[in-house]
Amino acid sequence: MSKAATSLPRTIGAHAILLTYTVIALFPVIVIVVNSFKSRAAIFRSPLTLPTAETFDLVGYTTVMAQGDFIQYFQNSLTVTVASLFFVLLFGAMAAFALSEYRFKGNTIMGLYLALGIMIPIRLGTVAILQLMVASGLVNTLTALILVYTAQGLPLAVFILSEFMKQVSDDLKNAGRIDGLSEYRIFFRLVLPLVRPAMATVAVFTMIPIWNDLWFPLILAPGEATKTVTLGAQVFIGQFVTNWNAVLAALSLAILPVLVLYLFFSRQLIRGITSGAVK
């Protein structure tokens, strides 16, 4: 950072802006978590106060644990998210490598085609996807969700990763070829480690929408055995009565796994940036 940018008023200004943003972004999350530990009456009486000795109540969590199979829902969400993430990163990186490394006819067109999905929301194809899943007997399976989410995540992954892979030194790949490494080993051992920060970025951007999605679980896998957490939490929202304690508790719980995954990837991100690739 240059000297001028570190003057006191500027520092204070920058921090004020960042703090304001942090407060705005975190406020709903904190309200959810705080209220999930309060009794129903306390939630409505004073939603913004912390739980006190009288208002502290774990009824939301006990309801969630008692009703429905929430452990199962968690497992479903995790399976779907992790498996989709794995396939998006694997296939996305492989396609990106082919696009950035090999010269072939239609390379640019192929790149555009693969990136097209960034601009066209996959939900437009819901009806066709549902028909497809019905025809192939995949309704109410986690496989259906994994397939859809992999397709949904690939365009952005290919787009971002191919830009990064173009920057990996040609000399390094050529050195590997002279040493007799196969194209697979060059890809997995030389190129992937160097684009790890980009992979982490893609992972974060891919993971959050999958974890939070309500649309496809509701349409493709609403069965009890395949419900995801976000879908499972809906049972507490009724047309006339909503069990707010349970909803807030379920949402609070749903934040945890994704938070862990996020921390893991952001660690990778920072490590990738600070380790300094060798040119």
Partner 1 sequence: MGSLKIENVKKSFGPVEVLKGIDLDVKDGEFVVFVGPSGCGKSTLLRIIAGLEDASSGDVLIDGQKVTNAPPSKRGIAMVFQTYALYPHLTVRDNMSLGLKQAGTPAAEIDQRIAASSAMLSLEPYLKRRPAELSGGQRQRVAIGRALVREPKLFLFDEPLSNLDAALRVNTRLEIAQLHNRLKSTMIYVTHDQVEAMTLADRIVVLNAGRVEQVGAPMELYNKPANLFVAGFIGSPKMNFIDGARLGETAKTVGVRPEHIAVSDTAGAWKGTVIHAEHLGADTNVFLETEKAGLVTIRLFGEYQTGPGATLYATPDAARTYRFGEDGKALG
- Contact residues toward partner 1 (CB under 8 A) are 169, 171-172, 174-181, 189-190, 193-194, 275-279
DSSP state of 7: -
Q: Which is nearer to partner 1, 107 or 131 (CB)?
A: 107
- With beta carbons less than 8 A apart as the criterion, state whether 199 and 156 touch: no
Quick one: 13 exposed, middle or buried, by C-beta within 10 A (0-12, 13-18, 19+)? exposed
Q: Which is nearer to partner 1, 58 or 194 (CB)?
A: 194
Q: Give the shortest CB-180-to-partner 1 separation in angstroms.
A: 3
Q: Give the shortest CB-269-to-partner 1 separation in angstroms.
A: 18
- With beta carbons less than 8 A apart as the criterion, state whether 260 and 44 touch: no
- With beta carbons less than 8 A apart as the criterion, state whether 143 and 133 touch: no
- With beta carbons less than 8 A apart as the criterion, state whether 269 and 197 touch: yes
Q: Which is nearer to partner 1, 99 or 247 (CB)?
A: 99
Q: Which is nearer to partner 1, 176 or 217 (CB)?
A: 176
DSSP for 56-124 reads B--HHHHHHHHSS-HHHHHHHHHHHHHHHHHHHHHHHHHHHHHHHH---TTHHHHHHHHHGGGTS-GGG
Separation of alpha carbons 38 and 48, rounded Å: 11
Structure tokens, 254: 């749903």
Q: Which is nearer to partner 1, 8 or 109 (CB)?
A: 109
The pair phi, psi for residue 239, each rounded to 5°, is -70, -35
Q: Give the shortest CB-178-to-partner 1 separation in angstroms.
A: 5
- With beta carbons less than 8 A apart as the criterion, state whether 100 and 165 touch: yes
Q: Give the shortest CB-277-to-partner 1 separation in angstroms.
A: 6
Q: Give the shortest CB-278-to-partner 1 separation in angstroms.
A: 4
Q: Which is nearer to partner 1, 20 or 275 (CB)?
A: 275
Q: Give the shortest CB-193-to-partner 1 separation in angstroms.
A: 6
Q: Which is nearer to partner 1, 127 or 270 (CB)?
A: 270
Q: Give the shortest CB-273-to-partner 1 separation in angstroms.
A: 14
- With beta carbons less than 8 A apart as the criterion, state whether 106 and 157 touch: no
Which of 255, 261, 266 has its CA nearest to residue 201?
A: 266
Ramachandran category for residue 78: left, alpha or beta (phi over 0 → left; psi -120 to 50 → alpha): alpha
Amino acid at 177: R
